[in-house]
Structure 1
């Protein structure tokens, strides 16, 4: 690979992507920085996965706060629950392969949400269950808001 392409990639990623797209359009395969292009395509697949995990952590954290601090329930918490649930549902529809990812990260996301809920509420970590008290299907139902009975 030429030094100029290496420099372009390191100094101006946007220009590198435009240049690479032009090379591909012109079918100048031998000039394409194939290794970096492969890395970038793979990293593009990480974005929806990362967003799913982030949204799931926030959703679970707010559900925990909703359940364990009912006197502090607010429209802000409700809106966050609705919004992050909506983002997850949208991502699962747009990227069906994320469904298996959801199952694989559920426990880890819950533990992160549990820690975040403890930090935000000031409640000790052991005030929240060690494992998620709800299943994914229930959490993703648009009308689910935990009550004292859940």
Structure 2
């Protein structure tokens, strides 16, 4: 065997061992895996990356933002429903919760403007979830709350909007 062939084998073996150890690190110490991955990216060593797990984590980040947006939207809708359909039980905490979750949504939109499209896609589903939650929390029948959201998607985000 030639010297060049042996050197190529050594390099391939080292790269495979490096990738294997990075994959093992992902499973045993996630934070250290993140630091090692960031270092590899900084150094431009793309061939050494644990691409499978890196892709999974990048996708997970996007899903996490979407889940948080959905959760915040349900909370705003729930409290708007309670505000409108239980006027005699209005509390400052409901108003505070509405403001806080609107702020969170706004911050997500600032960080990722493309989430505005997703907001419109999930709006009706989030309303259905908020409606069911309102039934549980208020002990009013589900039919007490309209099947179609009585608030526009713009009103839900409007910091000055509270139903009468």
TM-score (ref. length: structure 2): 0.84
Question: Are 1:70 and 2:87 an aligned pair?
Answer: yes
Residue 94 of structure 1: how far off its partner (Å): 2.5
Equivalent residue for 1:127?
144
Matching of residue 79 in structure 1 with residue 96 in structure 2 = yes
Name 1:56's counterpart in structure 2: 73
1:111-150 to 2 correspondences below 5 Å: 111-147=128-164
Aligned-residue RMSD, C-alpha: 1.4
Give yes or no for the alignment of 1:107 onto 2:124. Answer: yes
User: Aligned partners of 1:120, 1:103: CA distance in 2, in Å?
Assistant: 25
TM-score norm. by structure 1 comes to 0.91
How many angstroms does 1:47 deviate by? 2.2
Distance of 1:74 and 1:20 partners within structure 2: 48
Displacement over 3 Å in runs of 4+: none
Alignment of 1:1-12 (within 5 A): 2-12=19-29
Unaligned runs of 5+ in 1: none
Q: Post-superposition shift, 1:26?
A: 2.2
Work out the CA distance in 1 between the residues paired with 2:49 and 2:81.
49
Tell me the alpha carbon deviations over residues 70-90 of structure 1, each in whole angstroms, 9 at most, x when there is no partner.
111000001001111121122
Instruction: Give the number of aligned pairs.
Output: 147
Larger radius of gyration: 2
2:137 alignment partner, SS class: helix
In proportion to residue count, which structure has more helix? Answer: 2
Q: Quick one: distance in 1 between partners of 2:147 and 2:127? A: 9
Displacement of 1:5 after TM fit? 2.2
